[in-house]
Amino acid sequence: MTFRTCTATSTSATRSWRSWPARPSVGPSAARWQVSNRVAHVFVLGIDPGLSRCGYGAVRQGRRPTAEAAGVLTTPAEMDRASRLAELQSDIRSLITELEPDVVAVERVLFQRNATTAMSVGQAVGVVLAESAAAGCDVVEYSPNEVKEAVAGWGGADKQEIAEMVRVLLGLGELLHPADAADAVAVALCHLARMGPPAAASRRAVAAGSAR
């Protein structure tokens, strides 16, 4: 498998696209996942939100899911929060403009023990949601447990288990790094899993169009 490799760097954020050597998926769980989720031509941008590090992963679903882009957006801690949010907003906008996803799937913020961290992550989520909506993308949110259940089969999966299942489901020859990117890809895979088989997805699309 080959797809574009590109790196773009600004003073406050880094985006990277890369390819990984692929090999056939193995294991019955991966096979069942692929069979039950053949939703053709859907392109999902998954986001693992954060102000310091915001992971993203773009997955296209054809006969099997394929990762087309993955990486991490970063903002420097020495900048004030407003400037960091502005930088993140600009990078999210550029990412959506370049990738043109159909859907942006965001991991929902849950309880954080550190109030400062919770506020920063919540504000980052707001930036992602606003930019996605402004770009005309469908926007969905999933809890961490929903992502784990969809990708690994149970809500107690740890990061290593999620990373391994992402590797298997995408047929990669190695684990996807960094972890923020793997988590974002898992969010995208969660949305594809939730869409169900093609017939059901098509019926939902027709119903949504009729309701407008």
Catalytic positions are 48, 107, 180
Of 81, 105, 96, 87, residue with least CA distance to 13: 87
8 A C-beta contact, residue 126 and residue 141: no
Distance CA 165, CA 161 (A): 6
The bridge status of strand 103-107 relative to strand 138-142 is parallel
Write down the residue that tokens 């784990």 correspond to: 148
> Strand, coil or helix: what is 153?
coil
Distance CA 133, CA 89 (A): 12
Q: What are the tokens at 36?
A: 């039950």
Of 137, 62, 145, residue with least CA distance to 110: 145
Of 104, 75, 107, residue with least CA distance to 88: 75
Taken in order 197, 98, 108, 102, the sign of the CA dihedral is negative
